[in-house]
């Protein structure tokens, strides 16, 4: 198959920063595609011009009508690094495309800071919630952040101060690689620029104060990391549950009867490539789940409100793992979850009531797997002494769909 779609990364200097062969590819294009900023950097060589004004989905559909032509898409820096190249690759075969990267904003920023790229985290809040930053706020970490617009640095500085990271250093680079390149730097607590240029990239070096709030990504966060009504999978049991669910890159979890969303949230915190959906019948709990997900840096958690039976029956994609925390004694629900589970997938369910125990034993007799009883006791004061106070035993089933 001959490639018909060429994606070319360009920088702020436009065609002046491209090798002659790339410039020739742009000149020979029948259709030239890009944002207004990109298209403005290219003289009119006679190609039909298309921008993303109608949105990516519609523009990509329009591209399909030009497969018999020479189509060139202009992108910022490296098209495959949070760029349009990744979006196009989901719609077109690799054999149809030629992708030519330029230095990315991350590469340019790291070079200005003298940072080794493998030693820093790369994230984007362009078209995404700033809440994703919360996942990475730990002492000493270095972050490179693609901004949404000129308000992002000030919003980030405010957030850092609220979470006890006001001493963190923020470096903002505007119009990297162009004639208008500019560098602004200050600690978060001293940040005064209410708005920067919309085209900017942030380098962040986290430093914390005594009131800093941050969490490990290892499963088993303390209950006070979450907003909840007391009905939450306790940290010891949650850690054991996540170990059995075994999150792996790219996999999808259903958290059924999610409550506070703790299991689904910890699944998402394990790897940025995994996905999760929380099913919860109570509207107020759905709001709690969304707040917990945002606060712990995983706003991508999908929350579905309503009767899990109905939503599960309509679901098209089979999950790789299912956790049932609420509704365990509902045998119809447990069967529906098992039926939807992908081959090779894992189902884990926890129960504390006698009725739930009976349902889990029946499930294990029918579908196999293993049962585990988890007993946890925590220390507490008894007068001037200390004693271990037992919590309710949890019966846990784990079954793998062969």
Average pLDDT over residues 332-340: 96
User: Which parts of 98-250 fold into alpha helices (H)?
Assistant: 105-113, 152-162, 235-245
Does some domain include residue 284?
yes
Which percentage of the chain shows pLDDT scores above 90? 91
Expressed as residue numbers, the domain containing 54 is 5-102
Q: Is the pLDDT of residue 316 over 90?
A: no
pLDDT tens profile 159-178: 999 999 999 999 999 999 99
Of 139, 170, 205, which residue sits at a domain end?
205
pLDDT tens profile 256-279: 999 999 999 999 999 999 999 999
158 and 56 in a single domain? The answer is no
- Distance set, CA 16 to CA 10, 93, 176, 178, 401 (Å): 9, 30, 14, 10, 57
Does some domain include residue 12?
yes
Q: What is the pLDDT of residue 213?
A: 87
Q: What is the pLDDT of residue 176?
A: 95
122 and 146 in a single domain? The answer is yes
Of 52, 77, 102, which residue sits at a domain end?
102
12 and 155 in a single domain? The answer is no
110 and 66 in a single domain? The answer is no
- Vertex 293, ends 250 and 300: CA angle to 5°? 40
Q: What is the pLDDT of residue 314?
A: 84
- 124: CATH: 3.30.950.10
Q: What is the pLDDT of residue 322?
A: 98
| Mean pLDDT value across the chain | 95
121 and 37 in a single domain? The answer is no
- 240: CATH: 3.40.50.150
Q: What is the secondary structure of 258-289 as a DSSP string? A: -TT-HHHHHHHHT-TT-EEEEEES-HHHHHHH
230 and 361 in a single domain? The answer is yes
Report the alpha-carbon distance of residue 32 to residue 23 in Å, rounded: 12
26 and 89 in a single domain? The answer is yes
Local structure of residue 133 (DSSP, 8 states): G
Residues in the chain: 402
Cα distance from N-terminal residue to C-terminal residue, the chain: 38
Q: What is the pLDDT of residue 58?
A: 85
Q: Is residue 81 a contact partner of residue 43, using CB atoms and an 8 Å limit?
A: no
Q: What is the pLDDT of residue 62?
A: 86
237 and 359 in a single domain? The answer is yes
184 and 114 in a single domain? The answer is yes
Q: Is the pLDDT of residue 315 over 90?
A: no
Average pLDDT over residues 84-89: 92
330 half-sphere exposure, CB direction, 13 A CA radius = 15
> What is the dihedral angle through the alpha carbons of 335, 340, 341, 342, rounded to the nearest 10 degrees?
150
pLDDT tens profile 233-254: 999 999 999 999 999 999 999 9
Q: What is the pLDDT of residue 317?
A: 86
Q: What is the pLDDT of residue 320?
A: 98
Q: Is residue 32 a contact partner of residue 47, using CB atoms and an 8 Å limit?
A: yes
Total structural domains within the chain: 3
Q: Is the pLDDT of residue 149 over 80?
A: yes
Q: What is the pLDDT of residue 22?
A: 94
27 and 170 in a single domain? The answer is no
Does some domain include residue 53?
yes
Q: What is the pLDDT of residue 92?
A: 93
248 and 394 in a single domain? The answer is yes
Q: Is the pLDDT of residue 54 over 80?
A: no
Average pLDDT over residues 308-329: 91
pLDDT tens profile 275-292: 999 999 999 999 999 999
Which percentage of the chain shows pLDDT scores above 70? 100
120 and 61 in a single domain? The answer is no
Of 205, 236, 261, which residue sits at a domain end?
205
């Amino acid at each position: 198959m001959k490639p018909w779609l060429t994606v070319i990364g360009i920088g702020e200097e436009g065609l002046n920063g491209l090798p002659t062969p790339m410039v020739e590819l742009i000149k020979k294009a029948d259709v030239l595609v890009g944002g207004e900023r990109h298209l403005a950097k290219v003289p009119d060589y006679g190609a039909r011009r298309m921008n993303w004004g109608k949105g990516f989905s519609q523009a990509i559909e329009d591209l399909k009508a030009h497969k018999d032509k020479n189509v060139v898409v202009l992108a910022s820096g490296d098209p495959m690094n949070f760029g349009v190249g990744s979006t196009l690759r989901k719609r077109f075969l690799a054999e149809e495309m030629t992708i030519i990267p330029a230095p990315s904003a991350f590469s340019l920023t790291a070079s200005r800071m003298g940072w080794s790229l493998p030693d820093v985290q790369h994230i984007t809040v362009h078209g995404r919630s700033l809440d994703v930053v919360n996942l990475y706020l730990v002492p000493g970490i270095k972050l490179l952040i693609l901004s949404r617009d000129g308000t992002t640095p000030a919003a980030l500085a405010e957030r850092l101060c609220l979470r006890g990271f006001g001493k963190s250093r923020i470096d903002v680079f505007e119009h990297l690689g162009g004639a208008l390149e500019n560098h602004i730097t200050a600690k978060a607590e001293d940040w005064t620029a209410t708005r920067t240029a919309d085209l900017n990239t942030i380098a962040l070096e986290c430093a914390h104060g005594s009131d800093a709030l941050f969490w490990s990504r290892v499963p088993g966060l303390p209950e006070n990391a979450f907003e909840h009504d007391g009905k939450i999978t306790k940290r010891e049991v949650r850690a054991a549950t996540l170990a059995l669910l075994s999150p792996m890159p790219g996999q999808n979890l259903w958290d059924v009867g999610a409550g506070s969303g703790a299991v689904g949230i910890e699944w998402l915190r394990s790897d940025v490539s995994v996905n999760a959906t929380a099913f919860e019948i109570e509207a107020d709990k759905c709001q709690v789940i969304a707040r917990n997900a945002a606060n712990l840096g995983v706003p991508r958690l999908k929350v579905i409100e309503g009767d899990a039976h109905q939503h599960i029956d309509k679901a098209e994609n089979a999950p790789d793992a299912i956790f049932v925390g609420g509704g365990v004694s509902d045998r119809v629900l447990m069967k529906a979850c098992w039926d939807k589970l992908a081959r090779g997938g894992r189902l884990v369910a926890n129960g504390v009531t006698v009725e739930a125990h009976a349902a889990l034993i029946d499930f294990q007799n029918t579908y196999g797997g293993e049962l585990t009883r988890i007993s946890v006791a925590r220390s507490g004061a008894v007068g001037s002494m200390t004693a271990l106070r037992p919590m309710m035993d949890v019966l846990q089933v784990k079954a793998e769909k062969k």
